[in-house]
Amino acid sequence: MMIMEDAKKLKRLVKSVWVFNWFNSCGFTEILPVVGSRWDMERFGMIPVASPRHADCLIIAGYQTEKSIRRAQRIYRQMPKPAVVIGLGSCSMSGGMYWDSYNTIKRLSDYIPVDLYIPGCPPRPEAIFGGIMKIVQKVKGNG
Partner 1 sequence: MIMRVLLAMAVPVAGILIGLLYKGIDRILAARMQGRVGPPVVQPFRDVRKLLVKENIVPDDAVGWLFGSMPFIALVSVMAILLYLPLGVAPVLEGYGDLILVLYLLIIPSLALVLGGFASSSPYASVGGQREMVKMMSYEFPLAIAVISVAWLLYSSGAGNVFSLSVISGTPVWGLAGIPGLAGLALIFLCLLFVIPGELGRVPFDVSEADSEIAGGIFAEYSGRNLALFYLADAVKAVAMASLAVALFLPYTVSGIFGLGGAAAPAADFLFHLLKVFLVLFVSSTVMRVVTGRLAISRVVSVYWKYPVILSFLGLLLIMGGTLV
Q: Where along the sequence are the contacts to partner 1 (CB under 8 A)?
A: 8-9, 12-13, 15-16, 37, 40, 42-45, 49-51, 53-54, 56, 78, 80-82
Taking residue 9's Cβ as centre, other Cβ atoms within 10 Å add up to 11
Nearer CB in complex with partner 1: 49/120 = 49
Minimum CB–partner distance for residue 96 and partner 1 (Å): 28
CA angle at residue 12 from 10 to 15, to 5 degrees? 105
Minimum distance, C-beta of residue 21 to partner 1, in the bound complex (Å) = 12
Q: Measured from the CB of residue 11, what is the shortest distance to partner 1 in angstroms?
A: 9
Pick the closer one to partner 1 by CB: 82 or 120: 82
- Cα separation, 53 vs 13, in Å, equals 15
CB of 45 to partner 1, least distance (A): 5
Per the CB < 8 A criterion, the answer to whether 88 and 27 are in contact is yes
Q: How many CB atoms lie within 10 A of CB 59?
A: 27
- State the DSSP H helix or E strand holding residue 64, giving kind and residue range, or none if neither: none
